[in-house]
Amino acid sequence: MASLRNVDLLVLVLALPVFIVAEAPIAGYIAVAAAWIAGRIGMEIAVRRRTQALRTGNRKGAMGITAVATMSRVWLLAGAILLVGLLGEREAGLAAALFGLVLVTCHVVIQFADHVLHPETAELR
């Protein structure tokens, strides 16, 4: 179900007013939002390549694609948080870290729920 998998994007959009109302550094929001969107694009490309690898019977290649894409996404997000904290204000780094934690938690919970609710399509994702 596509709408369930896109809950993290809804959280991403709804977090902007929270940042504004809380007067949190917007640099933290921008850094994490940019890294999150770039990571999602990378994961979508990886899913397509993994699906092609599985269709040809290359399970080892599919596992490698998944591992590289997942680790790249983690490093991209961690790098964005680190950069905004080092180059900007420390408060921006803290805001970015907390926001990243919320997004990752949301993503993991939604992936789990999607897998439990729709196990028949788990191989395609």
pLDDT tens digits, 14-60: 999 999 999 999 999 999 999 999 999 999 999 999 999 999 999 99
pLDDT tens digits, 74-93: 999 999 999 999 998 899 99
Q: What percent of the chain has pLDDT over 70?
A: 93
Q: How many domains does the chain have?
A: 1
- Backbone phi, psi, residue 26, to 5°: -65, -25
Would you state the pLDDT for residue 32? 96
Alpha-carbon torsion 52, 60, 106, 109, what sign? positive
**Band of the pLDDT at 122, cuts 50, 70, 90?**
low
Give the domain range for residue 120: 2-124
